[in-house]
Amino acid sequence: MRAAQRRSTIIDLLEQQRAVTVDELSSRFEVSDVTIRKDLKQLEERGFLERVHGGAVYASRALYNPSFKEKQHLRGGAKKAIAEAALSKVHDGQSILLDAGSTTLALARLLRRRRKHVVVITNSIPVALELAGTSLEVLLLGGHLRHHSLAMIGPATVDTLRAYHVDIAFLGATGVDLERGFTTPNALEAETKAAMVRASSLSVALADASKLGRLTLARFAGLDELDVLITDVGAPTEFLSAAQQSLRCEVVAVDDADSGVEGPEPREPAALDHREPAPATSSKP
């Protein structure tokens, strides 16, 4: 596992557990204590955590937690490549759902520049702000504000989603496990994501390689319940092979700058066009 992946996973662990130890992390990642201490020092300097004796605790100094802002730069090349692949599925005249998260925000930035007439429904305040002032029609869902990500979640958000049906939903995930599927650390967030899946004809998960093989608290969909998983070539070969051989969910792995694999600039892969979205009047069971 590369340093960027390891540090991204450390942040995710802190969000779930609130604290980690050097011994725990060195054992988990099979690296030296010195390497882990360097990781923790760098993450502390960037506002992710506070170091304590023998480990670190979750940073909670600000209402808008710095982890969301800083996460946009972790594995940034992977997220941009994943967003490029996702953009290839969106055409003017369509309606989409954009979940909260750093990778969906990367997709919003591409939409802002390269699409003109798309209806975007989102529960993400950063996504809504990114698309403000464009020709895109934006609907911001209401609900309970999750300060960590500035996302609207919970029963009110789920109730609102029942009134809509879109062509494509793009969702983030903190964990993607072959047996348990797509998960997130927050139960209300999981309910909101599941409602987005039900409200779409085509559901697409956007998850960089650091999320694969991980399992977090709340499941929102099985791998056979979503249509496409877009990840990057830094993903474990064993995971990609098992997913592609045994699951209905199509897996697309794109080149990215952070994976250590050199290649051409990200392009729109034909593999994503595995089926056309159902008419807007259709619904998922």
Same domain, 30 and 158: no
CATH of residue 41's domain is 1.10.10.10
- Residues 95 and 232 placed together within one structural domain of the fold: yes
Are residues 35 and 81 located together in one domain of the fold? no
* In a shared domain, residues 126 and 185: yes
Looking at the domain assignment, is residue 224 inside a domain?
yes
In a domain, 18, yes or no: yes
- In the β-sheet with 228-232, what is the strand arrangement from edge to edge? 137-140, 119-122, 95-98, 166-172, 200-206, 228-232, 250-254
Residue 86: give its domain's CATH number: 3.40.50.1360
Residues 44 and 129 placed together within one structural domain of the fold: no
The verdict on 171 and 117 lying in the same domain is yes
**55 pLDDT above the threshold of 50:** yes
pLDDT at 107: 97
What string of H, E and C letters represents the secondary structure of the chain? CCHHHHHHHHHHHHHHHCEEEHHHHHHHHCCCHHHHHHHHHHHHHCCCEEEECCEEEECCCCCCCHHHHHHCCCCHHHHHHHHHHHHCCCCCCCEEEECCCHHHHHHHHHHHHHCCCCEEEECEHHHHHHHCCCCCEEEECCCEEECCCCEEECHHHHHHHCCCCEEEEEEECCEEECCCEEEECCHHHHHHHHHHHHCEEEEEEECCHHHECCCCCEEEECCCCCCEEEEECCCCHHHHHHHHHHCCCEEEEECCHHHCCCCCCCCCCHHHCCCCCCCCCCCCC
What distance in Å separates the CA atoms of residue 285 and residue 283, rounded to the nearest whole number? 7
Among 20, 38, 63, the domain-final residue is: 63
57 and 87: one domain?
A: no
Last residue of a domain, one of 18, 36, 63: 63
Question: In terms of domains, do 164 and 105 share one?
Answer: yes
pLDDT bin (cut points 50, 70, 90) of residue 69 is: low
Specify the pLDDT at position 61: 44
Please give the single-letter amino acid code of residue 208.
Answer: D
Ranking 35-39, 168-172, 185-189, 260-264 by mean pLDDT, the lowest is 260-264
Residues 52 and 187 in one domain: no
Domain that holds residue 148: 76-272
Contact of 116 with 272, CB cutoff 8 Å: no
Final residue belonging to a domain, choices 63, 93, 108: 63
Please list the residues that pair with 121 across neighbouring strands: 97, 139
Has residue 112 been placed in a domain? yes
Tell me how many domains the chain contains.
2
Residue 252 resides in a domain: yes
pLDDT in tens, 176-212: 999 899 999 888 999 999 999 999 999 999 998 888 9
Q: How far apart are CA 103 and CA 65, in angstroms?
A: 17
Q: Identify whether 285 is part of a domain.
A: no
Instruction: Please check whether residues 209 and 245 belong to one and the same domain.
Output: yes
Compute the average pLDDT of residues 48-60: 82
Give the C-alpha separation, 273 to 269, whole Å: 8
What's the whole-number mean pLDDT along residues 228-245? 85
